[in-house]
């Protein structure tokens, strides 16, 4: 009786799935890019460099046109951001020190398919959901409640939807890689 060798699939290694094949990750990457270039280090940093929007000198950054646009929006639609209570300023400091660096790391990790960002993404998404829920609670019923809730909810929707999406996306153990299958002819 002769023994025939049959090749058996073996999965040991993993390969990065190219970003072009991860269409949803492209959208997340763009969200992180908008946050790091516009939200964190322009719109939010304005809250720290200008303490009183009624009495200030234009800072070096953000540029005057951005300051004017933000003050117009805050004064007309979002009084919480105009009034700048201490608790909100503290959230903005967290944004500068924690979220901003996370966005930079996420841009790199999502682009290159680096799985070390998985746990950091879960932490970011969880904290972001809590933070935005608190802010929206103020917008609805706090002393700085907005009279323009549909607009305020629309401008904040991304920070509710994307963290939920990130939690779902990062729930898998290997969000950016797939097994590499090779044939092992030595197996009977």
Beta-strand pair 8-16/177-184 = antiparallel
Structural domain of 75: 18-184
Q: Give a yes or no: residue 10 inside a domain.
A: no
- The structural domain count of the chain equals 1
pTM of the model as a whole = 0.87
For residue range 4-53, list pLDDT tens digits in order: 556 556 556 999 999 999 999 999 999 999 999 999 999 999 999 999 99
Q: Give a yes or no: residue 60 inside a domain.
A: yes
Encoding tokens for residue 173?
């153990």
Q: How far apart are the first and last CA of the chain?
A: 14
Encoding tokens for residue 182?
């090779």
For residue range 54-81, list pLDDT tens digits in order: 999 999 999 999 999 999 999 999 999 9
Q: Give a yes or no: residue 122 inside a domain.
A: yes
Indicate the pLDDT class of residue 130, thresholds 50, 70 and 90: very high
pLDDT at 181: 76
Q: Give a yes or no: residue 1 inside a domain.
A: no
| C-alpha dihedral sign at 155, 132, 92, 115 | negative
Decide if pLDDT at 94 tops 90: yes
57: Cβ contacts below 8 Å, ≥ 6 apart: none
Supply the DSSP symbol for 21. G
pLDDT at 6: 60
User: CA 136 to CA 152: how far, in whole Å?
Assistant: 8
pLDDT at 4: 57
pLDDT at 101: 98
For residue range 143-186, list pLDDT tens digits in order: 999 999 999 999 999 999 999 999 999 999 999 999 997 765 55
Is residue 46 within 8 Å of 84, Cβ to Cβ? no
Give the DSSP per-residue string, 84-148.
--HHHHHHHHHIIIIIHHHHHHHHHHHHHT-TTHHHHHHHHHHHHHHHHHHHHHHHHHSTT--S-
Q: Give a yes or no: residue 39 inside a domain.
A: yes
Decide if pLDDT at 3 tops 90: no
To which residue do tokens 């639609």 refer? 77
Decide if pLDDT at 187 tops 80: no
Q: Give a yes or no: residue 9 inside a domain.
A: no
Encoding tokens for residue 92?
């903005």
Q: Give a yes or no: residue 13 inside a domain.
A: no
Whats the size of the chain, residue-wise?
Answer: 188
Half-sphere exposure of 106 (CA within 13 A, CB side): 29
């Amino acid at each position: 009786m002769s023994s025939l060798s049959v090749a058996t699939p073996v999965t040991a290694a993993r390969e990065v799935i190219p970003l072009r094949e991860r269409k949803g990750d492209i959208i997340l990457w763009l969200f992180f890019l908008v946050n790091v270039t516009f939200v964190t280090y322009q719109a939010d940093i304005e809250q720290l460099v200008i303490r009183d929007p009624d009495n200030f000198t234009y800072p070096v950054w953000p540029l005057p046109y951005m300051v004017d646009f933000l003050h117009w929006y805050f004064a007309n639609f979002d009084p919480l951001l105009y009034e700048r209570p201490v608790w909100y300023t503290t959230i903005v400091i967290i944004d500068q020190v924690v979220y901003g660096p996370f966005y930079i790391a996420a841009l790199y990790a999502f682009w290159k398919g680096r799985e070390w960002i998985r746990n950091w993404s879960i932490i970011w998404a969880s904290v972001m959901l809590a933070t935005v829920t608190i802010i929206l609670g103020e917008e609805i019923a706090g002393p700085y409640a907005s009279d323009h809730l549909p607009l305020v909810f629309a401008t904040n929707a991304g920070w509710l939807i994307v963290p939920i999406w990130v939690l779902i996306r990062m729930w898998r153990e290997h969000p950016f890689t797939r097994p590499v299958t090779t044939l092992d002819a030595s197996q009977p």
